[in-house]
Structure 1
Amino acid sequence: MNIKLQKSTLHKQSNIAITGSKSESNRLLLLQALYPNITIANISNSDDAVLMQKALKSSDTIKDIHHAGTAMRFLTAYYATQNRQEITLTGSARMQERPIKILVEALRQLGADIQYTNNEGYPPLQIKGQKLQGNKVTLDANISSQYISALLLIAPTLENGLTLSLNGKITSVPYINMTLSLLNDLGVKTHFEGNTITVQRFEATENVKAFTVESDWSSASYFYSLIALSEIGTTIELSSYKENSLQGDSCLAEIYKEFGVETVFAENTITLSKKWEATQEAIKLDLKNAPDIAQTIAVTAFGLKLSCNMIGLHTLKIKETDRLVALKTELEKLGASVDITDASLHLHEATQINENIIIETYKDHRMAMAFAPLALRVPLEIEKADVVSKSFPDFWKDLQNIGIKTV
């Protein structure tokens, strides 16, 4: 399904309710599987969260999580701990190209029985669950935080807890802190100092522990972009958000000041307002703690004809697609000049934006959503637009409700 977006203007005032954070939902779903006394409200309606729930509830011995990367990492760790349960964990063709060796080797350090059924280092995985006796793991610190979080989530069930040592500079610290915070809320004792994380064993009580998932900040990024590209005075209210968020992408509130967007926090909501024109200076950002918003920021800067330098993007190469290459390709179709390395992107100041370009999405939800705000500048077409269901199924409907016109 392709969507053609007309050149549009946002309504002056809008309200949008965004579903729960995918990252937070999947962490809590795994904890709920380990500790059934947990209840969860405002679970994400994203494909990733739906697939996670389906896999956990299913009695099938083959668990197909399609394109859900978080589910692949978290469930690998989970099923490794499930004594006398043997399953095969697989996914889409792209998922079978995404490396998982680092996590598998770490789990093997703890005593896990995991075998590759096809290519070494990649799904599908054959997992024979058992009680893991190990309690120490050493990893490089610059790996995906999902590997680290997968280990931390199962750590309270291990006989002697877990000591995790990280070598080098740690990537995506906010996502690690999110995991630790949820564990702490459950009652698990943790300690994170320097490059060492310790998690103590935890036995659940019979008391029900209720969690409410905060709405997804990554999803909010597209509305920040829309406001940045709008006229001064345009506002959107988003719910449900909190000022002291566990999510790393909440740095949007600070970053988008450079694009003229003010964020006002109220009880359970944020209001985004276009208050001033963006600075004409080059935008310089280190996104090692929030790489998922890089696509949105690059498109915003391009739409405002600003130059933008972003570093800390090394994890983008192993996402749904190689996001750095995809960004360069699609932005240049629109008239941009872009330089990339394995970990950075430099967008040069644009002189024009080409109209009626078809944006390829590469089976990547964030490619579709990041480019959509350019409809405030030019008409364009988003190829295979239904890919947004991975994280934000209501995205196109919400855009139409705030003034984006489709053909």
Structure 2
Amino acid sequence: MVNQPDLEARSPWSTNNDKQMVKINPPKAVINGKIRVPGSKSLTNRALIIAALAEGRSQINGILKSDDSYWCIDVLRKLGVEVEVEGETAYIQGSAGNWLNPSGELYVGSAGTIARFLPGALAVGKGSWSLTGSKRMSERPIAPLLQSLITLGTDITFNQAEGCLPLTIRADGLRGGEVTLPGSTSSQFISGLLISAPYAKEQVVLHIDGEVVQRDYVQMTLDMMSSFGITAKVSQDGQTIYIPTGRYQAQSVLLEPDVSTCCYFWALAALTAGCVRIEGISADSTSQPDIEMLNTLELMGCTVLRGENFVEVQGVKQLKGGFTISMKKWSDQTLTIAAMAPFADGPITLTDAAHIRHHECDRISAICAELTKLGLHVEEHHDGLTIYPGQPVATLLDSYDDHRMAMALSLIGMKVENIGIMDPGCVSKTCPNYFEQLSQLGVEIKY
């Protein structure tokens, strides 16, 4: 059964929604290209919401123009925030935490970042708002975050399922005090509370219960807060965060390109024994954990050239396998490695990624199903999978309305003729022109 896309969640920045399928064939010539990729989704929505809470006018350079950032900007405008977008730059007149429109219906699409960052941002003001999202977003529980806001004085009513969208927030400011969140479910819950915490009436002390999934994304939030003038104190063990009260101050910031998107193009080079240089990115990036992909590509036999303002990957004729790797810190690339693994010379096991079962789809189950369709031997585990070497057969694959499924599965088409992927428009969540960029590099793309 093919999963039907939720076209309502696609934005005016989306493309290819009229295309039912994309067909991918290997490049006819050796790939040797230079590209730039758009800004980081994770950095973009953090910067937009913090700038909207700040005092003064901010300039955010290098934003990602995708579905997720479109709905973020749309929500901020509905709250009365002035947002101007010129090319890849956004100008935001901050609200200082006082939303001009104290009521309304806010739609977050399928953006997990907005669904997790917005409730706290709303809670610092005064008003009543209803939050809705896509069908899949409404199935993704955010109860731990919402319970922490309730503890801090926010009135939240669930309009359907407990702990999920749609919901109504009635806010009169955050009280402050001590609150506990689980670390194992989603780092975005922690980030959502951190972003709003400076605006509480008293200092917020956040205790984290258990090890944090993707702790680097929590650090990304803390770094962005610091760049806007609020510096939190983290305990030596990393399990308690003390957030001072205060107001963000408007800034001019430049966002890095999206490393998560870069990984698909580096994987393209790896699979085709080609060379892809991505400009405007540094391998020294500390804010985006997916940069770990470069070390794994080297483990698989590729050559990585790390320049001051570029990263270049040179692929090999035969990728190496025969290893197990933890995806805990950079789980967004679990699907990418899984799509490359059949072409390695030994099995590859990916672990510590149980939380990706609750993303746009159950990504572990989905990638196992699609690789099996290709005639490959795959073993599914509760927290990952093992992929064995094999020769995929041409078939039509389901993207599950999930940008990362579509982009990862496209990599099979770098080595196999006539790989079809349903609903190519879903990549607009993070990279609307993904297939066009593949075509520019020499991959054969047909709709």
Output the TM-score relative to the length of structure 2: 0.86
Q: 2:281 aligns with which of 233, 237, 241?
A: 241
- CA distance in 2 between counterparts of 1:403 and 1:204 reads 45
Q: 1:213 aligns with which of 255, 267, 278?
A: 255
Q: Post-superposition shift, 1:191?
A: 1.8
Provide the residue aligned with 2:107 in structure 1: 64
How many percent of aligned residue pairs carry the same amino acid? Answer: 29
Provide the residue aligned with 1:16 in structure 2: 35
Provide the residue aligned with 1:378 in structure 2: 416
Question: After the TM superposition, which residues 119-268 of structure 1 pair with which residues of structure 2 at under 5 Å, given as runs?
Answer: 119-193=161-235, 194=237, 195-205=239-249, 208-231=250-273, 234-245=274-285, 246-268=287-309
User: Is residue 45 of structure 2 the alignment partner of residue 6 of structure 1?
Assistant: no
Cα deviation code 1:197-232 (max 9, x no counterpart) = 111112345xx521111000110111121111112x
Q: Residues 187 and 215 of structure 2 are in contact (CA less than 8 Å); yes or no, is this contact kept in structure 1? A: yes
Secondary structure of the corresponding residue to residue 388 of structure 1: helix
Q: Post-superposition shift, 1:80?
A: 1.7
Equivalent residue pairs, number: 399
- CA distance in 1 between counterparts of 2:258 and 2:147 reads 31
Provide the residue aligned with 1:81 in structure 2: 124
Q: Residues 305 and 351 of structure 1 are in contact (CA less than 8 Å); yes or no, is this contact kept in structure 2? A: no
Q: Residues 271 and 319 of structure 2 are in contact (CA less than 8 Å); yes or no, is this contact kept in structure 1? A: no
Cα deviation code 1:306-364 (max 9, x no counterpart) = 311111112111101100110010000111122223312122x2232112x11101110
- CA distance in 2 between counterparts of 1:143 and 1:10 reads 44
Cα deviation code 1:91-142 (max 9, x no counterpart) = 1111111111111111111111111011112110101122111221112221
In 2 relative to 1, CA 10–241 (structure 1 residues): closer, same or farther, beyond 3 Å? farther
In 2 relative to 1, CA 22–171 (structure 1 residues): closer, same or farther, beyond 3 Å? same
Provide the residue aligned with 2:354 in structure 1: 314
In 2 relative to 1, CA 275–5 (structure 1 residues): closer, same or farther, beyond 3 Å? closer
Q: Post-superposition shift, 1:376?
A: 2.0
Provide the residue aligned with 1:291 in structure 2: 331
Unaligned runs of 5+ residues in structure 1 are: none
Question: After the TM superposition, which residues 269-308 of structure 1 pair with which residues of structure 2 at under 5 Å, given as runs?
Answer: 269-274=310-315, 277-280=318-321, 282-304=322-344, 306-308=346-348
User: Is residue 73 of structure 2 the alignment partner of residue 34 of structure 1?
Assistant: no
Q: Residues 104 and 130 of structure 2 are in contact (CA less than 8 Å); yes or no, is this contact kept in structure 1? A: yes
Secondary structure of the corresponding residue to residue 129 of structure 1: strand
User: Is residue 390 of structure 2 the alignment partner of residue 346 of structure 1?
Assistant: no
- CA distance in 2 between counterparts of 1:129 and 1:242 reads 41
- CA distance in 1 between counterparts of 2:161 and 2:254 reads 39
Cα deviation code 1:23-54 (max 9, x no counterpart) = 01111111011104332100111211111111
Secondary structure of the corresponding residue to residue 217 of structure 2: helix
Secondary structure of the corresponding residue to residue 88 of structure 1: strand
Q: Post-superposition shift, 1:276?
A: 7.1
| Matching residue's letter, 1:12 | I
| Matching residue's letter, 1:317 | R
Runs of at least 4 residues off by over 4 Å: none
Q: Post-superposition shift, 1:305?
A: 5.2
Q: Residues 8 and 375 of structure 1 are in contact (CA less than 8 Å); yes or no, is this contact kept in structure 2? A: no
In 2 relative to 1, CA 159–239 (structure 1 residues): closer, same or farther, beyond 3 Å? farther
Greater Cα offset, 320-329 or 196-205:
196-205
Secondary structure of the corresponding residue to residue 63 of structure 1: strand
Cα deviation code 1:252-299 (max 9, x no counterpart) = 11111122223323233212222574324x131111111111000110
In 2 relative to 1, CA 10–225 (structure 1 residues): closer, same or farther, beyond 3 Å? farther
- CA distance in 2 between counterparts of 1:226 and 1:256 reads 11
Q: Residues 20 and 216 of structure 1 are in contact (CA less than 8 Å); yes or no, is this contact kept in structure 2? A: yes
- CA distance in 2 between counterparts of 1:310 and 1:26 reads 29
Q: Residues 260 and 276 of structure 1 are in contact (CA less than 8 Å); yes or no, is this contact kept in structure 2? A: no
Provide the residue aligned with 2:156 in structure 1: 114
| Matching residue's letter, 1:261 | C
| Matching residue's letter, 1:200 | P
- CA distance in 1 between counterparts of 2:444 and 2:344 reads 20
Output the TM-score relative to the length of structure 1: 0.94
